[in-house]
Structure 1
Amino acid sequence: MKLFKSLLVAPAALGLMTPLAVSASEVNLNDISNYSDVDSIEFANSFNKVDANETQLLAGGEGIVGSNSHDGGFSETTTASFSADMYLGAVDGGTSKTDDAFMGTYSFQIDLNTTFTGEDSLDISIDAGNSAKAGTVEFDGNDTTDVLTLDGVSYTFPIGTKTTAFVGDNTDGSLLFNTACVYGGPSNTLDDCGNNYSALNGGGGTAFGASYDVGNGFTAAFGYTGEGSNADGLMTEEGDDALAGQIAYSADNYGASFTYAYKENPTFNTAVTDTNVWALNGYYTPSGEGLPSISVGYEAADSEIPSLTPKDTDSSAWFVGLQWDEIGPGTAGIAVGTKQHTVDNSTLDDELLMYEAFYSYELNDGMTITPLIYTKEFASGTDDETGLMVKTSFSF
């Protein structure tokens, strides 16, 4: 098929993309020295503190700023991290209109972190990308139509010695949850370890929550997300609110968590009104060499769907993932699970599964390559979907 012919092109394409991602512009040092008569100049992408007799040239062309001023620069407690992902992939079958088409997309992200007391953290995420194409959508990249977009703002701070709280916007309400899963697959469908509905994903609303260290491996947490428009207000009949709570236990090589969530008009299905969701997750990491960790998850939902009779409808999903953290130079994993909730209804009860396998390895400290192959089942009348993608990640 055209899909597998396309796979032969992937290694060559990656080789072409790698040097493009690390190119740098040249700087004329003679012209810069004319700006000011200083003892030394520091060129910085990360804004480190400099001595009193030094001057810092800020990245981005802001100009030269003395060390006794932060105008136009970051404070010494602020850090910035950058990442870029390149995706190559294709799918065959399913409902895609681009069967066998070989796709190339990208994602870019800037994370800014600041602390004011040494124990708190102000976090800002800025994204860009065009990763909504069918051939690479399973890698869950950023899709902002090539425009830098503020993806979330949150402030996390301690309350006493055992409680941590946060407030934010466009941030996961379950930010401080400790879901028991050690599977790190890259796919968009199975990377939640079965917690498809119970997680309070950010969607533009206000969020807050807290976690408490009970002790002896136990933690408790809650979260809230106001998913309605600002005009509707928070915690009103007009707004769409979501609440969740979690109890988790973590030992040296195993853990478990129980999560409950209530969502009004959840965004995962426009036909659904109010939904109660609970999820149970667990993992076990054996001590023997060469043995994989195992992560499992089960989620059940009770939803009200006005278009069905009866209106109250039960559904469920499950997940199992195995991961080998040291296979050659990298990490390998395989997983299987329902690609969506299976509805307990005579016309909607087909259990549709997804299977995947991946291998992730670091070429160096700043570059990682992750190939993924997967198969998704579809209802009768539609061919199963098979996809293969390669993700190259750069961090700097």
Structure 2
Amino acid sequence: MKLFKQLLVAPAALGLLAPMSAGATEVNVAGVSDYASVSQDVVAAEQVTSITQFSDVYPTDWAYQALSNLIERYGCVAGYPNGTYRGNRAMTRFEAAALLNACLDRVTEVTDELKRLMKEFEKELAIVKGRVDGLEARVGELEATQFSTTTKMSVNTFWVVGAASYGGDAKGYYDGSTLTDPTVKTADYAARTAGATSFSYDYRVFLDTSFTGKDLLRTRIRSGNISDLYAGNTVVGLWSQEYGYNSGTTLNVDRMFYQFPVGDDFKLTAGAVVRQDDMLAVWPAAYPASMTVDFFTYAGAPGAYNLATGAGGGFIYSKNDFNISASYLSVNGNNSDPNKGGLATDGAGSNGTVQFSYAPERWGIAAAYNYGSTDNGVGLYSGNGTPYANNLQVHGVTNSAALSAWWMPEESGFIPSVSVGWGINSTGDSSGNAPIKSSTSQSWYVGLQWDDAFLKGNALGFAVGQPTFVTSIDRRSSDDDFVADGNYAFELFYMFQVTDNISVTPAIHYFSRPLGEYTGAGVDTSESFNSFGGLIKTTFNF
């Protein structure tokens, strides 16, 4: 239709196509003769294939684009034998008829070509139409049956197969309260009680609801049969897993919180079941936060980043890559007895965290402080330290600090991402009855990860560090502050990304002296004890 509009709106064409006025008093015979001559020249001229063949047509002409389209798309414009177009001269009715006829012929040819192509691909077009109709029907069905217009559901589950072995010449096993036969090797005792291969799972359902597009109401339902001590391990607590959830295969709600922005820079979070890291601006590591053994998921500082869960709230302030996070929660917040629960009571199990971080796109640094009332449930557990360090945080208050940094390369390749972290904890006994007045413990780690290692989408990781170990103590009954609680942990994993939804991660670990001060039943700490193990974790996301 553009062609006909261009012909009809051209003033010269309209004027020449209109009937000659009956009232005309003057007729320029010479002019008519000129037009007749021009008409013969135009009809006799050859068709042109490019507008550049006209010597008197320029890009600044108002009809340049329209003329170019007629020539290059339809090839129905002719010029004068001398290579000119004479665009400012008027047309005769004969010229207009010749031009219109030539263009109609070309349009007819194009139409015939389209019909031929449609005939040739008739079957394919029918298939495409059928698929489109099917998609429209499925979309309509989904819209009619969706359970919510505001909630998105996602699921991930972990299957873990693994086992541990033990070595060393230490004898007896002591966990701070129980002593086994001191004539039996610790490795033999551990093999008998925690040496079997286990196969277990963790299953999580996320229900994320947004009412404004910027807020988040998260409900997480979880089930699992993974023991808190991996593979039912009652000897080496470091085999614990972050995903080591044991609900007896029942479904439980283990997250329920609401997060919403206030202005451009603040975000508030509150919930009846909220975890410490849900209220942090950044997780201070590039190393995977949920890969294999527990210690390496805590950014090297499981005291400050203890991942306590309970009732509470917090805020996040973010401006120009600088962030401040502050939060409070009570692990016993659902209990109205002030001696056993409540918010900010003696029995609350209070956990307060402040984090300062600077996190541009590929690197960052963070410092954190945590206050934990260890009398009522906040503090280290067996997956993050030696038995000695864990036992010293049973009573009192623990003040923890952490310093972490991370860096990621711009492109994956030979250079890995690097994460480092260090933590220090000071615990004071509030009961007045424990043999230890106070203690200091520390931890650190370095984690490396190579993305797209060997194959695109896969990842290789290695980490080394010291899980929380006691570095100094103040005993009530002695001035002796010697402690031999040091230990080391190593991790190596390779993640195969089988599909977009399935990954398989084999990993091996080695713990050097995981019992720390209690090696050799707490009597001969010079004796050796170690643990080596492996696991295969399969992750499903959908």
Q: TM-score range by the shorter chain?
A: 0.7 to 0.9
Amino acid at match of 2:331: E
- The corresponding residue for 2:301 is 195
Equivalences for residues 232-381 of structure 1 within 5 A: 232=338, 233-265=342-374, 266-268=378-380, 269=390, 271-287=394-410, 289-305=413-429, 306=432, 311-329=437-455, 330-345=458-473, 346-378=481-513, 379=516, 380-381=519-520
CA distance in 1, matches of 2:218, 2:306: 18
Is the 1:315–1:341 contact (alpha carbons within 8 Å) kept by the matching residues of 2? yes
Q: Distance in 2 between matches of 1:43 and 1:128?
A: 32
CA distance in 2, matches of 1:259, 1:312: 21
Stretches of structure 2 that go unaligned for 5 or more consecutive residues are 1-135, 167-186, 233-238, 381-389, 474-480, 521-527
**Distance across 2 between alignment mates of 1:390 and 1:310:** 40
- Offset from partner CA, 1:285-327 (integer Å, 9 cap, x none): 2447410111110111111035556613221111111111120
CA gap 1:343/1:96 in 2 versus in 1, 3 angstroms: farther
- Partner residue of 1:66? none
Cα pair 2:298 2:306 within 8 Å, conserved: no
> Does the 8 Å contact 2:318/2:324 carry over to 1?
yes
- Is this contact kept in 2: 1:173–1:223, CA < 8 A? yes
Shift of 1:271: 2.5
What amino acid maps onto 1:209 in structure 2? Answer: G
> Could you tell me how far apart the structure 1 residues matched to 2:212 and 2:286 are?
31
Cα distance in 1 for partners of 2:207, 2:534 equals 33
Q: Are the aligned partners of 2:208 and 2:219 in contact in 1 as well (CA < 8 Å)?
A: yes
* Distance change in 2, residues 1:96/1:125 (3 Å): farther
- Cα distance in 1, alignment partners of residues 534 and 139 from structure 2: 41
Greater shift in the superposed pair: 93-102 or 274-283? 93-102
Contact map agreement 2:469 2:485 (CA 8 A) in 1: no
CA deviation map 1:78-116 (0-9, x unaligned) = 111112221111100164644542211111111111111
Do the aligned residues in 2 keep the contact of 1:360 with 1:371 (CA within 8 Å)? yes
**Higher helix content, 1 or 2:** 2
Q: Which of 170, 174, 178 does residue 273 from structure 2 map onto?
A: 170
Paired residues, number: 332
Secondary structure of the structure 2 residue equivalent to 1:394: strand
Distance change >3 Å, CA 267–CA 316, structure 1 → 2: closer
Matches within 5 A, 1:130-145: 130-132=225-227, 134-135=230-231, 138-141=240-243, 142-145=245-248
User: Is contact 1:179-1:256 (8 Å) kept?
Assistant: no
1:114 and 2:114 aligned: no
Identity of aligned residues (%): 24
Q: Secondary structure at the match of 2:196?
A: coil
TM-score, normalised to structure 2, is: 0.57
SS in 2 for 1:339: strand
- Alpha-carbon shift at residue 170 of structure 1 (Å): 2.6
Code of the residue aligned with 2:292 in structure 1: it is P
Structure 1 residues 319-348: Cα deviation after superposition (integer angstroms, max 9, x where no partner): 111111120231011111112233313454
Alpha carbons of structure 1 residues 85 and 309: separation in structure 2 relative to 1, 3 Å: closer
Partner of 1:179: 283
Determine the C-alpha separation between the residues in 1 that align with 2:202 and 2:538.
10
Higher strand share: 1
Instruction: Give 1:394 deviation, angstroms.
Output: 1.1
SS at match of 1:174: helix
Alignment match, 2:533: 387
Q: Which amino acid counterpart does residue 297 of structure 2 have in structure 1?
A: D
Take 1:393 and 1:197, find their aligned partners in 2: how far apart are those partners? Answer: 28
2: distance between equivalents of 1:182 and 1:134?
A: 24
Amino acid corresponding to residue 464 of structure 2 in structure 1: V
- 1:226 is matched with which residue? 330
The match for 1:159 is 262
Q: Note if contact 1:107-1:131 (Cα within 8 Å) is conserved in structure 2.
A: yes
Distance 1:126 1:96, change over 3 A: farther
Measure the CA separation in 2 of the matches of 1:284 and 1:307. Answer: 46
The alpha-carbon distance between structure 1 residues 235 and 296, as it changes in their structure 2 partners (threshold 3 A), is same
Structure 2 Cα separation of the partners of residues 125 and 371 of structure 1: 27
Return the alpha-carbon distance in structure 2 between the equivalents of residues 41 and 144 of structure 1.
41
Q: After the TM superposition, which of the residue ranges 156-165 and 89-98 deviates more from structure 2?
A: 89-98
- The alpha-carbon deviation at position 253 of structure 1 amounts to 2.9
Measured at CA, do residues 291 and 311 of structure 1 come closer, stay the same or move farther in structure 2, by a change above 3 Å?
Answer: same
For 2:343, what is the secondary structure of its paired residue? coil
Deviations 1:323-377 (A, max 9, x none): 1112023101111111223331345442111111111121111110011100112
Q: Does the aligned pair in 2 maintain the 1:200–1:244 contact within 8 Å? A: no
In the superposition, the TM-score normalised over structure 1's length comes to 0.77
For 2:370, give the aligned amino acid. A
* 1:91–1:101 contact (8 Å) kept in structure 2: yes
Partner of 2:198: 103
CA drift of 1:238 comes to 3.7
8 Å contact kept, 1:195–1:279: yes
The 8 Å contact of residues 339 and 376 in structure 1, kept in 2 or not, is answered as no
Query: CA RMSD, aligned part only?
Result: 2.5
Q: Partner amino acid for 2:254? A: D
Rg comparison, structure with higher value: 2
Provide closer, same or farther for how the CA distance between residues 156 and 310 of structure 1 changes in structure 2, counting only shifts above 3 A: same
Q: Which amino acid aligns with 1:257?
A: A
